[in-house]
Structure 1
């Protein structure tokens, strides 16, 4: 039985109306922040335009290999996306989730957690063969160095982390709905806070579950990187090396966390390339650190999750949704499936917008690396090496670009470097 205790939001506008106004306000704020703070132009307006052209920098064989790899990996990728949407649709538009989860017994909080676990495991089982299918192609093309046990362990850890985070969110929503009529208010505040805390803790709680991190060995490279960071005005005590080679041959580096947990990490595979190219990659990451991109992304994401909490309240309060799912209230533990379906759908639908902003932020970091190193020739060489080694998609179609491209394509990044060279009077690579 659902029971309502104290409603601390007394005096606020009626539930749906208040949530609607909050939804509009948070949506407008998020759009305004993104619109006015996203670096829509990485280079000055007077930078000479250079058209991206894969054929200028890659051989016909390299382009064909990229296209072939994209063709075979796209099939399991799209099937996985389709399966995700089908399951979300069943949970949102039918009473299937409520009927299945209604079989669970125990205290309401236990049924919520068991419901999250059941849905998570069921979806993971359905998607597992598609993951194996994709992994076989990664091995065939030489990108994966994993054994099946290590691959399964990584996948299980990812599923477990997702289940824990989802369990916290769903349990909080149901608990708040059981206590407050206007549960969207504390839910929005809690969603904002959880996003910030998770991003802050991720480098020291989650990342060590997948990789071991060690300080970069003392030597010329480490000295040069720290000197470059000092020249850039970015306080960096160390650069960490992740033992990524135990699962991939891909080259990568990244910055994560903020404040006390901020770290710049390079894959150990990256240390095998020429030192000036490593410096170029780290200069790109310094651009992220200097601009505070992780904190910025966290705060924008937190606004988005607060917006999502209000939207969740409105959607789950709608009569058609309740009738279709057979769930009268989010306070009912059987609503777990509905909540998870809506969270999944929101993640898919928001992906293109997140990628759009991410591509411009990555382009700004590229421009920062060029300004710091002033060596577009090395930049182009590094981009070519990354694309060939990682078998990047050099010409993604519109759908793939919208759904998956969090970075500009390699030809776009190379074209920007050539534009930067023309702008700064440097020989065009």
Structure 2
């Protein structure tokens, strides 16, 4: 078997393993049907006409820009990856430092990342204007630019290191580099899941312990009752950037903590905060992060193996102006293929995510036994976050990582019916 066929076979096998994990671990039916049938979904989710109009107006202002930004970024990546322009750029940026292959990879990734970000920056700025207009963003333009710069630097840095390892492996092991790189990518996903809360989160927000009091005690007790004790309850200074409401649980073991936005503390009653946290604790209780990490590791391995197959295509290499995977000029092509793969996998990831989120909703209802607080919390979050309770079906299928607000309220009604005394 040739090295290229071996890479394709590995991609298929790992892809099948990925599909099996999805089939086995996805909660396809998070709640049984009530005797009288499921509750009809109310597309208004009980929101007022003014709230609905505001959410729909916000979505109408933002969705086209988001879609154009996605297509523009893909187009720029295609132009640089499927023509010799990207290869020339990679060589040009490294020339002042001697033009070695290491500098070509590192500076090439940085240049490509900056070009991609600059191409979509006007649309990102427009999106920020819209968020300011609707009162969702509180960031100054200085802070917004700082966030853009930090995000770009982190993405470019991690990508550069990954591609540097890929090119180095391809130069050292021309036939089996994709296997070593796939194993490395899978390991990176696993390690990254553990390190994210202690390395990346602090780059954007500051955290401080929630003050002693009833709410802190109740949240810690809720975690104990859930069988997943946490080390701390932290407050994020989210109000520096947004008026949106949110809370989450991050980390594993000694790094596991509940994080609550300061906006949540300011605007929601304790019982609704406990409902949000109970939902997040549901992810912990069901090992959703670990399952997601496993899926990510398998997906990364399959993706790199597929990349090994594609980067051995004479046609693609000729178009990109590269001689092979060990040639640093292959970087723009690799980035384009990764972008396409990420985009194509989005509906699958989001479809699984919606079922996982629905199970966490059921867990929150079981843990708190307070459907009224759950419904009120969902409606308050929808109103504050300007969430469209009934978005277009195709948009939600592709981009929606959570059930719609309307679907979540119908689920709560079904839960109440099944748990009626």
TM-score normalised by L of structure 2: 0.96
Instruction: After superposition, give the CA deviation of every residue in 1:323-382 in whole Å (9 maximum; x if it has no partner).
Output: 222212011111111111111111111111111111111111000000011111111000
Q: Judge conservation of contact 1:43–1:367 (CA < 8 Å) in 2.
A: yes
Q: Judge conservation of contact 1:90–1:96 (CA < 8 Å) in 2.
A: yes
Change (3 A) 1:201 1:140: same
Instruction: Report deviation, 1:100.
Output: 2.3
Matched, 1:78 2:67: yes
Matched, 1:17 2:5: yes
Matched, 1:315 2:304: no
Instruction: After superposition, give the CA deviation of every residue in 1:360-411 in whole Å (9 maximum; x if it has no partner).
Output: 1111100000001111111100000000000001121133212321110100
Instruction: Report deviation, 1:41.
Output: 1.1
Out of 73-82 and 46-55, give the one that drifted further.
Answer: 46-55
Instruction: After superposition, give the CA deviation of every residue in 1:235-294 in whole Å (9 maximum; x if it has no partner).
Output: 123211111011111000112233333322110111121010001111111101111211
Distance 2:44 2:347 in 1: 27
Partner of 2:339: helix, strand, or coil?
helix
Instruction: Report deviation, 1:175.
Output: 0.5
Distance 2:256 2:288 in 1: 11
Distance 1:265 1:138 in 2: 23
Partner of 2:232: helix, strand, or coil?
coil
Matched, 1:26 2:19: no
Q: Give the equivalent residue in structure 2 for 1:357.
A: 352
Q: Give the equivalent residue in structure 1 for 2:369.
A: 374
* Equivalent residue pairs, number: 414
Segments of 5+ residues of structure 1 without an aligned counterpart are 1-12
Distance 1:92 1:110 in 2: 18
Q: 2:85 aligns with which of 72, 96, 108?
A: 96
Q: Give the equivalent residue in structure 1 for 2:38.
A: 49
Instruction: After superposition, give the CA deviation of every residue in 1:84-120 in whole Å (9 maximum; x if it has no partner).
Output: 1112222343222112223232221111100000000
Q: Give the equivalent residue in structure 2 for 1:222.
A: 216
Out of 118-127 and 83-92, give the one that drifted further.
Answer: 83-92
Instruction: After superposition, give the CA deviation of every residue in 1:151-174 in whole Å (9 maximum; x if it has no partner).
Output: 110111111110011111111111
Partner of 1:306: helix, strand, or coil?
helix
Matched, 1:400 2:395: yes
Distance 2:44 2:223 in 1: 35
Q: Give the equivalent residue in structure 2 for 1:236.
A: 230
Superposition RMSD in Å = 1.3
Partner of 2:259: helix, strand, or coil?
strand
Partner of 1:162: helix, strand, or coil?
helix
Matched, 1:211 2:233: no
Partner of 1:266: helix, strand, or coil?
strand
Q: Give the equivalent residue in structure 1 for 2:338.
A: 343
Matched, 1:59 2:48: yes
Matched, 1:189 2:178: no
TM-score normalised by L of structure 1: 0.94
Distance 1:88 1:122 in 2: 9
Instruction: Report deviation, 1:45.
Output: 4.3
Q: Judge conservation of contact 1:257–1:295 (CA < 8 Å) in 2.
A: no
Q: Give the equivalent residue in structure 2 for 1:180.
A: 173
Segments of 5+ residues of structure 2 without an aligned counterpart are none
Matched, 1:270 2:258: no
Partner of 2:249: helix, strand, or coil?
strand
Instruction: Report deviation, 1:46.
Output: 4.6
* TM superposition outliers: structure 1 runs of 4+ over 6 Å: none
Q: Give the equivalent residue in structure 1 for 2:405.
A: 410
Q: Give the equivalent residue in structure 1 for 2:159.
A: 166
Distance 1:395 1:45 in 2: 22
Distance 2:398 2:150 in 1: 24
Out of 46-55 and 145-154, give the one that drifted further.
Answer: 46-55
Distance 1:389 1:263 in 2: 24
Instruction: Report deviation, 1:124.
Output: 1.1
Q: Judge conservation of contact 1:201–1:261 (CA < 8 Å) in 2.
A: no
Instruction: Report deviation, 1:56.
Output: 5.4
Q: Give the equivalent residue in structure 2 for 1:9.
A: none
Q: Judge conservation of contact 1:116–1:163 (CA < 8 Å) in 2.
A: yes
Q: Give the equivalent residue in structure 1 for 2:25.
A: 37
